[in-house]
Chains A and B, each alone.
Chain A
Amino acid sequence: MAPKEFCKMLSRSKPGPGDGGKTGSWRVLRPVIDLEKCIPAKKNKKACFTCWLYCPDSVVSKTVPPSINLEYCKGCGICAEECPAGAIEMVDESSFIVEDK
């Protein structure tokens, strides 16, 4: 038997964005970072990044200031829960719909 293509034998995925589609559409609450409180933003240097570390979907960037990729953020709120500075607030998505108009 000739070697078979392994991809036909089982389901597998590589790390990367979007294997489950644009999961940002699942979000009910949106994390909003208050840069006045955010440690790396305040100190203007790479520090803390607790949100980056805890995000189960790896949508928080390790940048100054940190940013959240809303195309894939499911709004779980773990970042808000873990932020030692209390800099992240979970805001109802409906309020942004009004703003978009």
Chain B
Amino acid sequence: MYMIESGNVAAATGVQLARTQVIAAYPITPQTPLTEKLSEFVESGVLDAQYIPVESEHSAMAVCIAASTAGARAFTATSANGLLYMHEQLHWAVGARLPLVMCVANRGVGAPWTVWNDQQDSMSQRDVGWIQLYANDHQQIIDTTIKAFRLAQTVSIPVMVCYDGYLLSHTYMPFDKPDQEKVDAFLPPFTPRHFLDPEDPGNFNTVTLPDIRPGVDGTIEPGYMEIRHNLHQELREAIEVYQEIDREYQEQFGRGGTPLVEEYRCDDADYVAVCIGSLSYQFRDVIDLMREKGAKVGVMGIQMYRPFPDQAIVAALADRKGVIVFEKALSYGNQGPLYGDIKSALYSCEKKPALSNYILGLGGREIKTSQLIDALTEACAGQAAEDAPRWIGLKL
């Protein structure tokens, strides 16, 4: 069934179709309409779930952790400073291996206050161990949300579904709402591998010692390092798992096929622009306009940022003359986070593409097609290949 709705409602609809059982969230712009829609679903009986209002994002994540530990399919959503306020619980959720799903409507982080879009919020959470998926339009928001629940419960690792605040969260676009029956088949009722059970009491996430040690029954229990190593290994395996899940989704729903990266006119491109989120779709106009003038350019959007699909990225970028990374986030005092990751992935290539990095759109600064054309043209001419990121649209 086709709907014309906002990106937030696309996300809420995905959460509803996933038959989420517990929702705990604290409203924050631009995520608010998503939580409002979910409480409406719960109130009207469309979604049979507990909606637990909380006094902060830290508590929202704590409630989701508790619900998930008790065996429920749990969901929350946030943006910007709300996500950062959750930070400590994000580490806990992933260390406890809970299959949570969270939407992040990307927004710039204060101070100074901004409610508008950039991606500093979720990018700054890249090292907590959550899986990070980025959606580029409303259809991808609903599809990715449904796939995220499947991925989270397959690998027992929480998943963040990120989409640009306002640009996607508040704009209206047509998208297909998958049939409930088909979603039920794709995402059967959640049966957690381990959960709190009064019939079989136990402690989870007990204190570990620096070394391994025998447990009560004499079997050797893993230490902190073993548990963390296991998380890393299974995060790496999640790249393949997500590709399988995406393949199955594509068979069932006819959409997908680009779970890790999404390329546009990259086949014969000498220069490839790389970015995350809706910018990669805006960039398609840039590519079309430059192609009309004979420039061999393409754009690649990163769909999965953590775990970092370095092999897919190397395969896509290794033989290019230039790779130009456009980012709405910055590792302050260094460079764009995605730029650093891509540079590191390409280090082992024999023939390294020239690399350049542009920072743009922070705090919702408008990104004009003409600016992108100028930047990409400059980079193609070899005038931007240096480590220090260049800023687009800066008015000094």
Contacts and interface: CB of A to CB of B under 8 A. Distances in A.
Interface residues of A, number: 17
Nearest to B96: A10
B207 interface: yes
Given A8-B222, A9-B230, A11-B227, 18 more contacts: A1-B237, A1-B240, A4-B230, A6-B97, A7-B221, A7-B222, A8-B227, A8-B230, A9-B156, A9-B231, A10-B204, A12-B202, A12-B206, A14-B217, A15-B202, A15-B203, A17-B216, A19-B216
A12 B205 contact: yes
A13 B215 contact: yes
Q: Which one of A3, A10, A15 has the highest number of Cβ atoms from chain B below 10 Å of its Cβ?
A: A10
B376 to A, nearest CB: 39
Interface string A6-33: 1111111111111100000000000000
Interface of B: 95-97, 154-156, 193-194, 201-208, 215-217, 221-222, 224, 226-227, 230-231, 234, 237, 240-241
A62 B217 CA distance: 24
Top 3 nearest A-B pairs (CB, nearest first) are: A16-B216, A9-B97, A13-B203
Given A1-B155, A17-B216, A11 B208 contact: yes
A18 B206 CA distance: 14
A98 to B, nearest CB: 34
Contacts of B227: 8-11
Interface of A: 1, 3-4, 6-19
B234 A13 contact: no
B201 A13 contact: no
Contacts of A4: 156, 230, 234
B67 to A, nearest CB: 17
Contact of A11 (B154, B155, B221, B234): B221
Contacts of A19: 206, 215-216
A18 to B, nearest CB: 6
Contacts of B222: 7-8, 11
Given A1-B237, A4-B234, A8-B230, A14 B216 contact: yes
B202 A11 contact: no
Contacts of B95: 10
B163 to A, nearest CB: 27
Given A12-B203, A16-B216, A3 B193 contact: yes
Given A6-B194, A19-B216, A13 B208 contact: no
Contacts of A1: 154-155, 234, 237, 240-241
A13 B227 CA distance: 14
A58 to B, nearest CB: 13
Contacts of A17: 216
Contacts of B207: 11
Contacts of A7: 221-222
B191 to A, nearest CB: 11
